[in-house]
Structure 1
Amino acid sequence: MSSFELSGRKVLVTGGARGLGAGMATAMAAAGASVMLADVTKDIGEQTAATITANGGGSAGFVELDVTDDAQWETAVAHTVAELGGLDVVVNNAGIEVTQLLVDTDPDEITAMLRVNVLGTMLGIKHAFRAMRPGGAAGSGGAVINISSVAATIAFPAIAGYSGTKSAVDRLTRVAAMESGKLGYGVRVNCIYPGLVATDMGVKLAVETSGLGLFESPEAAVGAVVELTPSGRLGEVSDIADAAVFLASDAARFVNGVGLPVDGGMGM
């Protein structure tokens, strides 16, 4: 019988200080994993890790990480392996979103998204593979879970740059799964397409798209998303977190190189 239980797993979650990252880390700890939260926001990250541990959801630690910095990745993974005693799962969740119309494209802001959302994910895959493959610091294979977005599968105004970067995450996932298989790394690589969730990023999108005159109000923007969603609601952090636990678990042992929509049907 398949199990969603993660006892003994060692997990690194980027962007883990808050929002979806904190939710996924909390859910994995509750399923029995030891988790390391990685983020640029040190104070909030340490507090989130302490809360997870205090709530009896398994052990949690924090490491500071700018996902665009190759050297910091090397340090963060080494720290995780040393502190947790291994590494079985890497969740590449860290990301940023810039809302802008195509006629107002700001090259610097697009470059920032490319660096965090695309380069950051590539470096996460790189260092996960190096640690998990045979002969690596952990060396027992595992799973990489990349966080894409429903934005990669729909046409929604004012997020062309973000949609492009999240589409890239999907392609990276599939190529990484193939490389891992061909080279015998023993690492499954999948991604999740979250629908709109009322995190800080989700609320920001509603406010900014209405500010551009695309919707009458933030509430109207949210309403438009709900109207496009067969399930008739926004996503919740727990919806995405449960999917991440599944992909990290043995229940997903033959799930590899796919994008899992967790969007209530919005992107179908």
Structure 2
Amino acid sequence: MILPIGIWVALAATMTPTVWSKAPISSDQFESHPAFDPKTGDLWFVRSTPEFRGWRLKVSRCGKNGWSVPADAPIAGDGVEADPWFSRDGRTLWFISTRTTDGAKKKDLDIWRVSRGTSGRWETPERLPTPVNSAGQEWFPRFSRDGWLYFGSDRPGGYGRTDIWRAREDRPGHWVAENAGPSLNSAADEYEPLPSPDGKWMLLSGDKYYRSERTPAGWSPRVALGPEINANGSEIGAAFSPSGKSWLFARDTKDGRSGELLRVGGREAWPKACSGARG
């Protein structure tokens, strides 16, 4: 059962985020946008400067001594990279990047995907075609249960500077894209949509975190979460547990603790404990 938004917001206001990550995942840099590989349990995340620049994908493995020192992702390219997301079966990884295919310098972020081969190795990443990508920026690709790819973009045709859009591959190699509508978007910035695993609601970020319910008529008007979650308008990079009852996110606290991974939610054992590390 999905709680009415008013009740959920009241409950969310009592949720006190706790720091989940510690060294070597946490550092004096900015860590955000976690994603757990369904096949290996590896933690992929974004590490950037304290000013949130120079994004790079990092991978840490759980071993007998806890989480390993994060290493560059095996798919690393020549541009900045961020926002990793795995398909449920772990066969496909989605991310954003300014990487190039011809060596020419590129400034805008596009959505890419890469498949895992039968050997377990990642194959060559491919850039998604137009109309998923545009001449503008794309961020935070996340699939909903019904097959839509939601993402943020500053392309023309939105309600504000950046909006939530969605796209669907209606046949191999051919995509259609559309704005996600006024229930999710405003005249300001919206850029990180995260549909819940059960498809019944969405967490989205802009100037703060919001929640929207899935109804027969579409997405309900968004409602801001409480002050325990929305501390200063710089909460980003959320990731749900498989049940959707818990999630991780990052926050710019404007001090030396910025960019740590914070956890909110239920009593479920997620993320799974790793020997020698807090899980």
TM-score (norm 1): 0.29
**Higher fraction of helix:** 1
**Higher fraction of strand:** 2
TM-score (norm 2): 0.28
